[in-house]
DNA sequence: CCGTTTGGTTCCATTATGTGAAACTTAGTC
DNA sequence: GACTAAGTTTCACATAATGGAACCAAACGG
């Protein structure tokens, strides 16, 4: 459950520490981390030193607390631009948002979780990182299920074993088996629903973004509330959403990359 | 000039590789990196494996290209929230933007460069990462100079030695010495100008954000164009901007952090 | 005021880990 | 079907990570 448990030599461990700080969600002192971590004092200390020196962490000298460093913000800017679907999907999402008038999400898979990389809000304009970068569960969100449905067996297996299957609402699928059946239906149908499985009153239709070879690279969803509409009404948009997904996929396929002349 | 040159054991080298990929700005193949990097084939290869396995990079299996991984986006979300000034500065920036009707930047220092963490655009709303996460030179931007002016001597020395002193416009300071004089003036005056030093036609007034002990933690600027206004007019806002900076500083000071009960 | 505890930093002998030249295995050319 | 370029694996070797223990400093407490 925790962030612990991987192993990739020294680098892996260091990144582990980074995650620990991220997970804490607030500046933490050395001793806080020491309590959490499996590493001995000296080792942990060295990692913190290194990461701080590298700008991945910052040490507030007044309070002696560590927090994630700004270098990450810079890296993420690049990551978001160069390897998320967001930049190239933007115009299509704008269009879709305008047509539907509902909230649009663009998500990708990250370590068994759904990572939202962009969002169009009907009402107010996008808030910076506050929406991009958020993570959510895969087994009980529209985009999550849409992606799971098209994962190869072995990958699916791996992801499923990581899910918590926490029951959020009466509609949440609580076990891998129940979910698997649903996934088959989704694969067949080409789109997934969220029937208030994550939050009461929130429903959505989600569509996977697939490469020509059938690899999932992301998903988009149109979300609304039970007060405003019904799943049937939303489903009527499904073909429109699939079209958008297809266009994004096509773009992604062609768009890598403008060519280069070698140095 | 490149990203090379640091050293922090294995972890430092790995992060170096990460930077190389970021710097490329597009998915790169193994051999591209090999050409750039100082590391031998096998070593580089191992790093790429590890980083990929860790989700810091992604390998597009079809093309065999590496790109920054989405895990970074997630980390950055946390970084931006927990250690940039952006979240707590937001309301103050909004206010300032509304009052001035000009573009507002919020920046922090990162490895000798200016890193923009938030932005208010008079005209259209903020574009996600496209503005947050951007970096710029320290020696020829308003926010950069405002921060440099309040850096302790040794840190300033370190930062100056990293600057490229590329001459962007006729007004750009081209040497550390010229700049030092300017910095003294800025420290005295309490605010910095950008006199078209980075881009022709672009001017700004910038103010450092200082802790009670006088440590710089960031800077804000109000930017405009020579067509729309003059530096004198902008300077009239200086006190207003300082007030905003002071409020942000106060907030930052108090806001770390809500207390915690130990586990 | 001086033990004592708590939180943080440094040492250093031990050994695990990372290193990189070279050998190898594919794809892709001509 | 020999030749080349790109990517992957091996392995003897040395460097670099490890962590127990000692150390230091500041806050406590009597």
Of residues A197, A187, B172, the one with CA closest to residue B164: B172
- How sure is the predictor about B260, in pLDDT bands with cuts at 50, 70 and 90? very low
Q: Are A71 and A56 in contact (CB under 8 A)?
A: yes
Can you read off the two tokens belonging to residue B210? 């200082």
Secondary structure of residue B106 in the 3-state scheme: strand
Query: CA–CA separation, B126 vs B145, rounded Å?
Result: 24
Span A71-88, pLDDT tens digits: 888 888 888 887 788 888
Span B78-133, pLDDT tens digits: 888 887 888 889 899 989 988 998 889 999 998 788 999 888 876 544 444 456 77
Rounded mean pLDDT, B4-23: 82
Q: Are A51 and A14 in contact (CB under 8 A)?
A: yes
Q: Decide if pLDDT at A126 tops 60.
A: no
Q: Kind of pairing, strands B192-195 and B57-60?
A: unpaired
Query: CA–CA separation, B56 vs B38, rounded Å?
Result: 20
Distances in Å between the Cα of A74 and the Cα atoms of A68, B78, B131 are 12, 13, 10
Q: What is the pLDDT of residue B129?
A: 46
Query: CA–CA separation, B39 vs B16, rounded Å?
Result: 10
Can you read off the two tokens belonging to residue B10? 């294995």
Least confident piece of the model among A26-35, A114-123, A161-170, A186-195: A114-123
Interchain proximity A74–B257, CB inside 8 Å: no
Span A100-119, pLDDT tens digits: 988 899 999 987 889 998 88
Q: Are A220 and A209 in contact (CB under 8 A)?
A: yes
Q: Are B198 and B183 in contact (CB under 8 A)?
A: no
Which residue has better confidence, B129 or B260?
B129
Q: Decide if pLDDT at B36 tops 60.
A: yes
Closest C1' nucleotide to B59's CA: D7
- The CA-based angle B239-B110-B218, given to 5 degrees, is 15
Which residue's CA lies closest to nucleotide D5 at its C1' atom?
Answer: B31
Q: Decide if pLDDT at B177 tops 80.
A: yes
Rounded mean pLDDT, B195-214: 92
- Residue B94 touches partner A, C-beta closer than 8 Å: no
Q: What is the pLDDT of residue B255?
A: 64
Helix B71-83 crosses helix A9-24 at what angle (to 10 degrees)?
Answer: 40
Q: Decide if pLDDT at B24 tops 90.
A: no
Among the partner residues B12, B130, B258, nearest to A50 by beta-carbon distance: B12
Within A55-152, where are the H helices? 71-83, 86-100, 128-131, 142-148
CA B10 to C1' D14, in angstroms, rounded, equals 15
Q: Decide if pLDDT at A128 tops 60.
A: no
- Residue A158 touches partner B, C-beta closer than 8 Å: no
Least confident piece of the model among A138-147, A243-252, B80-89, B254-263: B254-263
Query: Which helix (H) or strand (E) segment is A30 a member of?
Result: helix A30-36
Query: CA–CA separation, A222 vs A200, rounded Å?
Result: 16
Distances in Å between the Cα of A161 and the Cα atoms of A16, A175, A218, B241 are 20, 10, 20, 52
Mean pLDDT, chain B, rounded, equals 86
Q: What is the pLDDT of residue B193?
A: 96
Query: CA–CA separation, B229 vs B226, rounded Å?
Result: 5
Main-chain phi, psi angles of A220, to 5 degrees: -125, 155
Query: CA–CA separation, A81 vs A74, rounded Å?
Result: 11
Can you read off the two tokens belonging to residue B149? 């002016």
- How sure is the predictor about A46, in pLDDT bands with cuts at 50, 70 and 90? very high
Which residue's CA lies closest to nucleotide D17 at its C1' atom?
Answer: A10
Q: Decide if pLDDT at A150 tops 70.
A: yes
Which residue in chain A is spatially nearest to B214 when comparing CA positions?
A62
- Percent of all residues in chain A with a pLDDT value above 90, rounded to a whole number: 46
Residue A231: CA count within 13 A, CB half-sphere = 14
Query: CA–CA separation, A18 vs A91, rounded Å?
Result: 34
Within B37-70, where are the H helices? 41-53
Interchain proximity A54–B12, CB inside 8 Å: yes
Residues of A in contact with B9 (CB under 8 A): 10, 50
Q: Decide if pLDDT at B259 tops 50.
A: no
Of residues A206, A213, A204, the one with CA closest to residue A249: A213
Query: Which helix (H) or strand (E) segment is A36 a member of?
Result: helix A30-36
In strand C, the nucleotides that come within 7 Å of a protein beta carbon are 6-11, 17-23
Check residues 37 to 66 of chain B and report those whose beta carbon is under 7 Å from nucleic acid strand C.
39-43, 46-47
Closest C1' nucleotide to B14's CA: C18
Span B150-174, pLDDT tens digits: 998 888 988 998 898 999 999 999 9
């Amino acid at each position: 459950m925790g962030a612990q448990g991987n192993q990739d030599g020294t680098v892996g461990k260091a990144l582990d520490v980074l995650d620990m700080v991220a997970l804490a969600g607030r500046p933490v002192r050395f001793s806080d981390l020491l309590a959490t971590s499996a590493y001995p004092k000296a080792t942990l200390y060295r990692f913190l030193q290194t990461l701080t020196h590298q700008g991945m962490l910052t040490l507030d000298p007044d309070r002696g607390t560590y927090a994630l460093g700004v270098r990450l913000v810079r890296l993420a800017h690049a990551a978001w631009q160069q390897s998320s679907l967001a930049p190239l999907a933007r115009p299509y999402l704008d269009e879709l948002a305008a047509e539907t008038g509902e909230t649009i999400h663009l998500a990708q898979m990250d370590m068994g979780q759904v990572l939202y990389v962009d969002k169009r809000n009907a009402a107010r304009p996008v808030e910076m990182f506050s929406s991009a970068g958020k993570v959510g569960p895969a087994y009980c969100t529209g985009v999550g299920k849409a992606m799971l449905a098209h994962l190869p067996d072995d990958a699916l297996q791996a992801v499923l074993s990581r899910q918590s299957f926490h029951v959020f609402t009466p509609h949440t699928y609580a076990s891998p088996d129940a979910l698997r059946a649903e996934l088959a239906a989704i694969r067949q149908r080409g789109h997934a629903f969220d029937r208030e499985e994550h939050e009461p009153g929130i429903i959505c239709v989600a569509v996977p973004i697939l490469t020509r070879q059938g690899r999932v690279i992301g998903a988009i969803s149109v979300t609304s509330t039970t007060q405003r509409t019904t799943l049937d009404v939303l489903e009527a948009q499904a073909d429109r959403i699939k079209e958008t997904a297809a266009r994004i996929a096509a773009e992604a396929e062609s768009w890598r990359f403008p060519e280069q002349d070698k140095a």
